[in-house]
Amino acid sequence: MADLLEQTRAALHDELALFDAVAGGAEDGDLAGAVLPLIRQDQERAVLVAALRLYAAACLVESCQLVRAGRPWPEAVHAIDRGLIRAGVALRARMRQLADQMLAALAPAAPPQRAQVLLASADAGAPPARPVPVLRDPDAVSLTEYLAAPPAGADARGLAPVHLTAVAAHWPALARWNSVAYLLGQTHAGERLVPVEIGRSYVAAQWSQDLVPMRVLLDRIAAGETVYLAQHNLFHQVPALHADVLMPDCVYTDLPGKPDETAVVSNCWLGAAGTVSPLHYDEHDNVLVQVVGCKLVRLYAPGPAGLYGDGTAVAGNTCGVDVDAGSGSTAAAAAYRARHAGFRWHDGYVECVLRPGDGLFIPAGWWHYVRALTASFSVNYWF
């Protein structure tokens, strides 16, 4: 371990010098905590990139210091996890290497076993009245052929959502990720730190974010708390989970306006029943794949948020209308619908329920609202 710590320190010479200049010393105190306020999305890109790199370096140095001080190994790995979660690509390879080597050297081999499952049984409810068209077990060729004749309700690119049933039926993850013991085992007894959102949705009044060990997230899901590991590339932290999935080759579909080479960005979504991604759109085409549990997805064709009544965007790409608040037969829901009378509550959308092994093709720009009907684990691919 001593060699590794020295190598890390030598490799970070430039960052440490910068840290000395900015924050007055790399030896003492909470290095990463001191650097964190420097990461601000509103600053010039070059400054943000430098701040992210500095933060990653501070996390690495802090981690080494914790090992040297003889602190329990999860503390040292948590310091690296904070860097992996917050610093994007900055020093990612070095952080992954140090985390792997530390875990191999310090963490106990056999994690405690728990027989529990993420989800005991699933009731996906009634099929939606306005279903997304279904294509069974598609590949890039069949999806390209299907989309060649623009489907009903297609957007300006000639695209519309497609429910890709059984697209991931062969993934090892389908047989593994429902096991809490398996998830704990792949994350060093659940000690790896992960980001969680606490509250029904990121536009709800009572909503916050935290970093917690995976075991805490799994306990909270089991306790029925509305917690969500959302839009996080867990695969960068835990490559063993990446080995359980196979990127659907639909991401190679020949779509209008697409360059030949596009980068694919993948994220994990693990949470309790009732978590919601509010109505929003993304700039990339997407395949959302369900591994554990069921999700309801409602989609509206691209258009300005104003098209849907006074649902002004609250976060650039997020509609201000709360689909949940206006759904159902209560007086409160009816009053909410009346307040947002221009919103298309009763038409203009399609819906589907994703079950384990299913995927959903969501073309760029399509508004989508997603609600977990059960505890749920999904993976998405933006391409």
Ligand X SMILES: O=C(O)CCC(=O)C(=O)O
Please report, as ranges, the residues that interact with ligand X according to CB under 6 A: 269, 277, 282, 286, 288, 295, 368, 370, 378, 380
- In the complex, the smallest distance separating the C-beta of residue 280 from ligand X, rounded to whole angstroms, is 7
The residue written with tokens 């959308």 in the block is: 349
Side chain identity at residue 250, one-letter code: C
For the bound state, the minimum distance from the C-beta of residue 288 to ligand X, rounded and expressed in Å, comes to 4
Considering the complex, what minimum distance in angstroms separates the CB of residue 226 from ligand X? 12
- Which residue's CB is nearer to ligand X, number 144 or number 231? 231
What tokens were used for 379?
Answer: 């993976």
Task: Provide the pairing of β-strand 162-165 with 134-136.
Answer: parallel
How far, in Å, CA of 85 to CA of 94, rounded? Answer: 14
Cβ 236 to ligand X shortest distance, Å: 17
Cβ proximity to ligand X, 111 vs 128, nearer residue = 128
Dihedral angle sign, alpha carbons of residues 74, 270, 200, 33? positive
Supply 226's token pair.
Answer: 């509305």
Shortest distance (Å) from residue 299 CB to ligand X: 11
27, 30, 36, 20: which is closest to 83 by C-alpha? 36
CB of 7 to ligand X, least distance (A): 38
Q: How far is the C-alpha of 330 from the C-alpha of 285, rounded, in Å?
A: 36
> Within 13 A of 132's CA, how many CA atoms are on the CB side?
27
Shortest Cβ 31–ligand X spacing (Å): 34
Nearer residue to ligand X within complex by CB, 80 or 196:
196
Q: Is 196 exposed, middle or buried (CB count within 10 Å of its CB: 0-12, 13-18, 19+)? A: buried
CB-based contact 219:180 (threshold 8 Å): no
Residue 95 or 173: the one with the smaller Cβ distance to ligand X is 173
In the chain, the amino acid numbered 377 is F
- Taking the least distance from each CB to ligand X, the nearer of 94 and 232 is 232
**With contact defined as beta carbons under 8 Å apart, do 160 and 133 qualify?**
yes
H-type alpha helices, 107-258: 140-148, 173-176, 180-186, 214-222, 234-237, 239-242
Shortest distance in whole angstroms from residue 277 CB to ligand X: 3
Name the residue nearer to ligand X (CB basis): 101 or 231.
231
Q: How far is the CB of 165 from ligand X (least distance, A)?
A: 17
With respect to ligand X, which residue has the nearer C-beta, 74 or 271?
271
Tell me the two tokens of residue 213. 């060990």
If the CB atoms of residues 19 and 202 are measured against ligand X, the closer one turns out to be 202
State the Cα–Cα distance between residues 132 and 134, nearest whole angstrom. Answer: 6
Edge-to-edge order in the sheet of strand 208-213: 134-136, 162-165, 359-362, 286-292, 376-382, 265-271, 227-232, 193-198, 208-213
Residue closer to ligand X, measured from CB, 135 or 288 = 288
Residue 274: partners with Cβ closer than 8 Å, 6 or more residues away? 200, 226, 371, 372
